[in-house]
Amino acid sequence: MKNEFYQDYKERVMPALQKTHGYKNPHQVPKVEKVVINTSVGSQSDVKQALEDAKAELALITGQKPSETRAKKSIANFKLRQDQAIGAKVTLRGDHMYEFLERLIKASLPRIRDFRGVSPKGFDGHGNYTLGVSDQAIFPEVELDKIKRNIGFDVTIVTTARTNEEAKSLLSEMGMPFSDRAKKPVAAAPAAEPAESK
Alpha helices in the chain (DSSP H): 4-8, 14-21, 47-62, 94-103, 164-173
**What ranges do the domains of the chain cover?**
31-173
Q: Whole-angstrom distance between the N-terminal and C-terminal Cα of the chain? A: 78
* Percent over 90 (pLDDT), the chain: 10
What confidence tens digit (pLDDT) does each residue in 117-165 have?
888 888 888 889 998 887 777 776 776 666 666 777 888 999 999 888 9
Question: Top-level CATH class of 31-173?
Answer: alpha beta
184 has a pLDDT exceeding 50: no
Query: Rounded mean pLDDT of 54-58?
Result: 83
Can you give the pLDDT at residue 192? 46
- DSSP string spanning 123-137? B-SSSEEEEEES-GG
Half-sphere exposure (CA, 13 Å, Cβ side) for 105? 16
What confidence tens digit (pLDDT) does each residue in 11-49 have?
998 999 888 888 888 888 999 999 998 888 766 666 777
